[in-house]
Amino acid sequence: MERILVTSALPYANGHIHLGHLVEYIQTDIWVRYQKLRGRRCIYVCADDTHGTAIMIRAQQEAVREEELIARMKQAHQRDFAGFQIQFDNYGSTNDPENRALCIEIWSALRRAGLVSQKEISQLYDPVAKTFLADRFVKGTCPRCQAPNQYGDSCDRCGAHYSPTDLIDPISTISGARPEVRSAQHLFITIEKLHGFLDDWTQNSGALQPEIANYLKGHFLNEPLRDWDVSRPAPYFGFEIPDSPGNYWYVWFDAPIGYISSTKQWCDRHGQRLDDWWRSEQSEIHHFIGKDITYFHTLFWPAMLKVAGFNLPKKVHIHGFLTVNGEKMSKSKGTFILASTYLQYLDPAYLRYYYAAKLSSGVEDIDLNFEEFAGKVNADLVGNIVNLASRTARFVQGQQLSAVYPDDKGLFARAAADAQQIADAYQQCDFARAIRIILAAGDRANQFIEQAAPWNLRNDASGAERLRDVCTIGLNLFRQIAVYLAPVLPRLAEQTGELLGVPIRHWDESQQPLLGATVSEFKHMLRRVDRHKVEAMVAASAEPEEQQEGSPNNLPIDSDEALRAEPLAPQISFEEFAKVDLRVARVLEAEEVEGAKKLLKLTLGLGGDHRRTVFAGIRGHYQPQELIGRLVICAANLAPRKMKFGVSEGMIVAVGDDSGVYLLYPDQGAKPGQRVH
């Protein structure tokens, strides 16, 4: 195939990217990077989905123009994606002029095919906000079970389905006004006329996973397809329909067209013809979507493409949802984690790897379990894979790898032969299988190094050649794995290129060992997951208001063990307390103290040039790296104390004993130098 065009679903401009979205974008990005690594001509396009009532209302609430809102959100989305190394070839917007032009083109085709009809629809209307109300913007009392505060389409208490006009005492969630029933003319697409085509395409084209094909057959295609309502009366934020003034295309009509218009933008920038990508036998289209938007992409969208003469998707890859610690993401539990929040605390490589290790080609949900997340990354990635480089490169720093590949008992050849299986797994989106095969190669490599014991060869001149050979093998086995993992961990592939002086560019580099290359100084490629940071991320994501809603009965029952172990000190006066000057300080530097078992040497900043050197007995409980930048509380007027390793000019406040030490941190907003009162 000459060209491969890949898309992810267009994120809605009404909210920020969170870890649930990222399942899809990371999955797609891995697949695209795999294709590119194989040397295939592949582009990855996406865009912001910007239209609809929700955007209009939000813009009203924030008192900005819609264009401003969506521009701001697009910028935020792109920054989040870049932070996770998701590499789009083009990122557009459904509000771009290219999209309008393509909407018109496809609309005309639907008109010409006689598929557009007009019908009058009765809908609830908010007279205050002056807008028609989608079901989700209406609340009221369930007509069946009398449950209050139910949405306009169904009751989550008794499960009844009804029309919003059946609700008792309905109110608009936008203005609080009582909605009235109004009717308006809507435009419909008679998708039933394409029923035969959809039967065939969904069941026989191979574009859909079997369970999806089944689902469609059992649910939609077993009866006449209902007409699809594709217009909304003004006011609506979207494109006005040229031949139906006052009506706008429903957001789900123009959203998928964004796939094409984003491609168009890329083509215009690269001197390519759009038709070579969207109307060509030599091009295949792959959509990656979540299961919630299945029918839009497997019924309406193929119907539109068919009528307008575009290529049909070669494959619609449908994935499940993300749960966190086994439950739906929850704002109150701090498991509704935004991409930007994650990036403040953790390396994106962790999540890319973790998702890859859990993703298969099915539509099952995947669970992000933080305990497993930390364990998997630390054990598999750092302990097994990266450790291969870490434990061999240092022996041959600044030297060259052997000129002839030494006898490695067939290890390199064996892993080279795995390439086909790994490639198949990537191609089928069964990344979990790819990772399993790759990890097995890592295990074999570690076993080899264990047996070859390079550390026993280094001090012996006669062992120098053998040492070089062993490290040549170890580093090549590592590099081979880095090639296989390059789609998942692009940064690791880059670092491997830097270490060995030859960049990784192609899958086939897994097939031949690298010889004679000069080994650079080894630098850590990936740090272990710091569980404190995971906790901090969850804490930062928790919405405090909802936490307070928790019943007092849910408070943990604390033992008085700590109090008994260390009884309260004698009472003091306020004046005595006030003598202690506690200050907020920022950790500017942190390092382990040579020769000391428990001490870390910290440089604290109190703002401006005011600095203190403090020795704290927290080594083993905190990594120096993780402390840098944090705010702590320091006893600032304590007399300096000479210690074996230098003078300590204060103390930092912490609780605990040898079994665990916990630093105290000021809440957000505190500034260095502020006094504790």
Partner RNA sequence: GGGCCCGUAGCUCAGCGGUCAGAGCAGGGGACUCAUAAUCCCUUGGUCGUAGGUUCGAGUCCUACCGGGCCUACCA
Of the residues 105, 229, 347, 626, which one makes contact with RNA according to CB under 7 A: 229
Segment 598-657, which members bind RNA (CB under 7 A)? 620
* CA–CA distance, 601 with 618 (Å, rounded to integer): 10
Cβ contact 601:590 at 8 Å: yes
Q: According to the binding rule CB under 7 A, does residue 263 interact with RNA? A: no
Of the residues 390, 427, 603, 674, which one makes contact with RNA according to CB under 7 A: 390
Of the residues 71, 105, 135, 235, which one makes contact with RNA according to CB under 7 A: 135
Instruction: Give the pairing type, strands 116-126 and 180-189.
Output: antiparallel
Place of tokens 């999806």: 212
Alpha-carbon dihedral of residues 421, 424, 430, 431, nearest 10 degrees? 70
Q: According to the binding rule CB under 7 A, does residue 82 interact with RNA? A: no
Of the pair 10, 260, the CB lying nearest RNA is at 10
Chain mean position to CA 29:
11
DSSP class per residue in 452-482: H-GGGTTT-GGGHHHHHHHHHHHHHHHHHHH
Q: According to the binding rule CB under 7 A, does residue 14 interact with RNA? A: yes
Segment 29-48, which members bind RNA (CB under 7 A)? none
Segment 182-201, which members bind RNA (CB under 7 A)? 186, 191
In the complex, least distance from residue 473 CB atom to RNA, rounded to whole angstroms: 13
- Report the run of H or E that residue 318 belongs to, with start and end: strand 315-319
Of the residues 79, 524, 579, 610, which one makes contact with RNA according to CB under 7 A: 524
Q: According to the binding rule CB under 7 A, does residue 295 interact with RNA? A: yes
Q: Is 615 exposed, middle or buried (0-12, 13-18, 19+ CB in 10 A)?
A: buried
Q: According to the binding rule CB under 7 A, does residue 380 interact with RNA? A: yes
Partners of 150 in the β-ladder: 140
* CA–CA distance, 541 with 358 (Å, rounded to integer): 23
Q: Is 161 exposed, middle or buried (0-12, 13-18, 19+ CB in 10 A)?
A: exposed
Structure tokens at 499: 């270490």
Q: According to the binding rule CB under 7 A, does residue 363 interact with RNA? A: yes
Of the residues 360, 400, 427, 511, which one makes contact with RNA according to CB under 7 A: 360
Of the residues 67, 180, 365, 460, which one makes contact with RNA according to CB under 7 A: 365
Alpha-carbon dihedral of residues 643, 647, 653, 656, nearest 10 degrees? -20
Q: According to the binding rule CB under 7 A, does residue 330 interact with RNA? A: no
Q: According to the binding rule CB under 7 A, does residue 166 interact with RNA? A: no
Structure tokens at 171: 């109110």
Q: According to the binding rule CB under 7 A, does residue 176 interact with RNA? A: no
Q: According to the binding rule CB under 7 A, does residue 218 interact with RNA? A: yes
Of the residues 64, 82, 113, 134, which one makes contact with RNA according to CB under 7 A: 134
Stretch touching RNA by CB under 7 A, among 165-173, 175-183, 375-383, 659-667: 375-383
Q: Could you tell me which of 293, 291, 285 has the C-alpha nearest to residue 314?
A: 285
Strand, coil or helix: 585: strand
Stretch touching RNA by CB under 7 A, among 408-416, 450-458, 568-576, 664-672: 450-458
Q: Mask: binding to RNA, 466-505, rule CB under 7 A, as x and -?
A: ----------------------------------------
Cβ contact 611:588 at 8 Å: yes
In the complex, least distance from residue 659 CB atom to RNA, rounded to whole angstroms: 13
Of the pair 251, 483, the CB lying nearest RNA is at 251
Of the pair 20, 334, the CB lying nearest RNA is at 20
Stretch touching RNA by CB under 7 A, among 106-114, 166-174, 211-219, 405-413: 211-219
* CA–CA distance, 522 with 266 (Å, rounded to integer): 39
- Report the run of H or E that residue 198 belongs to, with start and end: helix 195-204
- Report the run of H or E that residue 561 belongs to, with start and end: helix 561-565
In the complex, least distance from residue 587 CB atom to RNA, rounded to whole angstroms: 19
* CA–CA distance, 514 with 471 (Å, rounded to integer): 12
Stretch touching RNA by CB under 7 A, among 141-149, 247-255, 333-341, 549-557: 247-255
Segment 404-443, which members bind RNA (CB under 7 A)? 432-433, 436, 439, 443
